[in-house]
Amino acid sequence: MTTKLSAATLALALGSALSLSALTTTAHAADDMQKCFGVAEAGKNDCAAGAGTSCAGTSKTKDQANAWRLVPAGTCTQTHSSTSPTGFGQEAAFTAKS
């Protein structure tokens, strides 16, 4: 018995396979990144910039202490920050130096 696959069935199968591979790549990429507070340019944060902001792109000032940006894992505390007490990014929100 010969089974014929329709073009729609093939397209659906291919689309599913591509979607699964994209999910795996995205999940792996997220594992290689970490949140780094105090290193985003004004309006360039990835999310969660505290009171008065809602999410991505809402930080009000450069290197805002409660706004984070995703950076490659292991590089946060080596990234310059003009507001951090140490002068470098932090792995948690902090109180900006005066």
Q: Encode pLDDT of 47-83 as tens digits.
A: 765 665 567 888 889 999 999 999 999 999 999 999 9
Q: Which tokens is 14 given?
A: 């291919």
33-37 and 68-72 strand pairing: antiparallel
Please name the residue that has the structure tokens 């003009």: 82
**84-96 confidence digits (pLDDT tens):** 999 999 999 999 9
Query: What's the predicted TM-score (pTM) here?
Result: 0.65
Q: Where are the domains of the chain?
A: 33-78
